[in-house]
Amino acid sequence: MRHLIWAAALAALPALAGADPAEGLWRTEPGRGGAFGHVRIAPCGAALCGTLAAAFNADGSPRDSTALGRAVVWDMQPAGAGQYENGQIWDPQRDKTFRSKMRLRGEVMEVSGCVGPFCVAQSWQRLR
């Protein structure tokens, strides 16, 4: 039995070693009206992308949204030291897309959307 456990652990090592630290499920900051979402960050080719996995009202109750499953972040290129750049982010409340970058700091990811030299940032919390 012990051999089976070790074999399973060793088989999982390559997948764990190859996972980008930004991959996972993230809780966005509340927007206007207090609504927030859960965004799943995963590889898409050589970049990272994020889709809206769940939406919630300010009180935490589930929110119906036609945006569920829609790409929120895409083409995010790893730039080293927990930073990502040259991506795009979609703001569902404004229905606009902006240039984007991300910075990972432990269990918090700073995500920003930019127009020209002006950027607005949110801090997303890791859920898993």
**What is the longest distance spanned by two Cα atoms in the chain?**
59
> What tens digit of pLDDT does each residue of 44-78 get?
999 999 999 999 999 999 998 889 999 999 999 99
3-state class of 15 per DSSP?
A: helix
Spatial CA neighbour of 113 closest among 73, 77, 81, 66: 73
Average pLDDT over residues 97-122: 95
Which domains are delineated in the chain? 21-126 (2.40.128.520)
Tokens of 98: 């902006």
Supply 69's token pair: 């499953």
Higher pLDDT, 5 or 82: 82
Closest CA to 126 of 82, 70, 66: 82
* Span 15-21, average pLDDT: 65
Confidence of residue 18 (pLDDT cuts 50, 70, 90): low
Tell me the β-bridge partners of 91.
96
Query: 126 - beta bridge partners?
Result: 26
Question: Average pLDDT, stretch 88-102?
Answer: 93
**Residue found by looking up tokens 């799943």 in the block:** 40
Q: Calculate what percentage of the chain has a pLDDT beyond 70.
A: 86
**Cα separation of 71 and 68, whole Å?**
9
Mean pLDDT score, 79-98: 94
| Residue 88: DSSP 8-state | E
